[in-house]
Amino acid sequence: MRGTDVTNMKRAYRTSVEGEFPQELRINLQKELDLRYGENPNQPGALYRFQETSLAVLTDIRLAKSGKGGLSATNLMDVCRALGILKFFPKPAVAVMKHASPSGFATQHGGSSLAQIYQLARDVDARSAFGSVVVTNRPVDKATAQAIMSSFVEAVAAPDFEEGAMEIFGRKKDIRAILFSNLDKLPKFKGDDVTGWYDLKVLPTGRLVVQAPYLSSIRGPRDLICDPLVRTDQESYVVQRDPTPTELVDLLTAWYVNIGVSSNSVVFVKDGVTVGIGSGQRERVGAVEEAISRSYQKALDRKRVAQKAESFSWAPADMSWEQMKAELKAKPLEGSAMSSDGFFPFRDSIDTAAREGVTAIVQPGGSRRDHEIIQAVNEHKMAMAFTLERCFAH
Lowest mean pLDDT among 29-43, 108-122, 292-306, 373-387: 292-306
CB within 8 Å of 360: residues ≥ 6 apart: 243, 244, 247, 250, 251, 337, 338, 382, 383, 384, 385
Domains 60-184 and 213-306+314-386 share a fold: yes
Q: In CATH, which of 3.40.140.20, 3.40.50.970, 3.40.605.10, 3.90.1150.10 is domain 60-184?
A: 3.40.140.20
C-beta separation of 146 from 117 below 8 A: no
pLDDT > 80? residue 6:
yes
Distance between CA atoms of residues 324 and 101, nearest Å = 25
pLDDT for position 301: 85
- Crossing angle of helices 348-355 and 284-307, in 10° steps, is 20
Average pLDDT over residues 174-191: 95
pLDDT > 90? residue 326:
no
pLDDT > 70? residue 311:
no
* CATH code assigned to 213-306+314-386: 3.40.140.20
Q: Per DSSP, which regions of the chain are E strands?
A: 4-5, 29-34, 46-50, 62-65, 93-98, 101-107, 132-136, 153-158, 176-179, 199-203, 207-211, 228-231, 236-238, 266-270, 273-278, 337-340, 360-363, 383-386
Give this prediction's pTM.
0.94
pLDDT > 80? residue 381:
yes
Average pLDDT over residues 169-177: 93
Average pLDDT over residues 321-344: 90
Give the percent of the chain with pLDDT over 90: 75
Give the percent of the chain with pLDDT over 70: 97
Average pLDDT over residues 160-187: 95
SS3 of 203, please?
A: strand
Show me where the domains of the chain are located: 60-184, 213-306+314-386
Query: How does residue 19 score in pLDDT terms, banded at 50, 70 and 90?
Result: confident
- Report the chain's mean pLDDT, rounded to a whole number: 92
